Amino acid sequence: MNNIRKISAAVKAGEAQAIFVTSDQNRYYATGFASSAGELIICGDGSAALFIDARYFEDASRSISDVEVICSNDKPVYELMNDYFRAHGVTDLAVEEGSLSYARYTALQSKLSARFVPGQDILRDLRAVKSPEEMEILVAAQRIADRAFTNTLKLITPEITERELAAELTCQMLKLGAQDKSFDPIVVSGSLSSVPHGKPRDVKLQRGFLTMDFGALYRGYCSDTTRTVAIGEPTEEMVRVYNTVLEAQVTAIKAAKAGMTGRELDGVARKVIADAGYGEYFTHSLSHGVGIDIHEYPTCAPKSEAVLRSGDVISMEPGIYLPGKFGVRIEDVIEIKEDGCFDLTELPKELLVFCA
């Protein structure tokens, strides 16, 4: 995977002659090469250079196309970069202003000859719309997570702890081919299920709802899934809340399509929950983008004016959280299409009940 030409075209359409790619995630998106170091410059004229130290130089030189790989051990890296700027007429340089620390931003300004201009949105917008190759990877990541969850369900007993179940879920994803987990799994039961981002405890599964939020990292891309099951026979209120969240999610997935704003799609799910009397208990946004990062652009939230585009990949995760009692969240990942969407998640959504 290599997006150098796509980024170069976006730079050419802007005010800068080049973009300075500094974050590990964006450097991977651009080159397909994963490293914890390196300074990547992509020019609007189609040229690009990666300044990288000897630890990665040989591997990068062999792995990356459309990029001149320059070893930064031979001369101070900022001198090399300034030489490159002069050779390619770079006077204005787009930078990732949203991910650079203040200390590094000011240090770079003092060492580089080009004038800095904002460039964060260039990469943000490109990454939001996934290519067919990226979609294949995202679907594969989702299939790993789906199978891992199905296997982990067989391990649910009254004797297993939340932390043990989280570990088993992670282990299953790794066994099935994930390079890592997308994030630390959320596995919480009983009254703690009302905490959207609760942490697994060294306690046996508590009676009530059990929420499992998890994802597989595969070839640099994330999946994201949440399922809520019942430990012990659910009460009428629990079933009512579960069905309300499910209706909100299904209704929003059916409504999702290119051209909607994030606010509009969020409102579809939020109305279902509000009409059922639980509006104040849906305490987070409906969705976020999913890709190389587990949280990307765009977001579907009450104030989001981001316009959804065909190829955007977003989560769909309405929830209801009754403090001190229980919570329910159901999450799929979808790809936005011109006339609808494609649901990457194949797991069933009916309420599963396990013996307490």
Same fold, 4-127 and 132-354: no
Residue 1: per-residue pLDDT: 79
Condensed to tens digits (0 to 9), the pLDDT of residues 234-293 reads 999 999 999 999 999 999 999 999 999 999 999 999 999 999 999 999 999 999 999 999
- Which superfamily does 132-354 belong to? Creatinase/methionine aminopeptidase superfamily (3.90.230.10)
- Helices 132-153 and 162-175, axial angle in degrees (round to 10): 130
Q: Give the per-residue pLDDT at 356.
A: 80
Q: What residues contact 189, with CB distance under 8 A and at least 6 apart?
A: 162, 205, 206, 207, 208, 209, 210, 211, 231
Per DSSP, the residues of 271-326 read HHHHHTT-GGG--S-SEEE-SSSSSEEEEE-TT--PBP-TTBEEEE--EEEETTTE
According to DSSP, the β-strands at 326-329 and 296-300 are: unpaired
Domain 4-127 annotated CATH 3.40.350.10: yes
- Is the pLDDT at 41 greater than 90? The verdict is yes
308-354, pLDDT tens digit by residue? 999 999 999 999 999 999 999 999 999 999 999 999 999 999 999 99
Q: Where are the domains of the chain?
A: 4-127, 132-354
pLDDT in tens, 107-152: 999 999 999 999 999 999 999 999 999 999 999 999 999 999 999 9
Q: In the structure, what pLDDT confidence band is assigned to residue 94 with cuts at 50, 70 and 90?
A: very high
Per-residue pLDDT, 74: 82
Mean pLDDT of 23-50: 96
Residues facing residue 189 across a β-bridge: 210
What are phi and psi for residue 299, nearest 5 degrees?
-110, 140
How large is the average pLDDT for residues 180-189?
98
pTM, to two decimals = 0.95
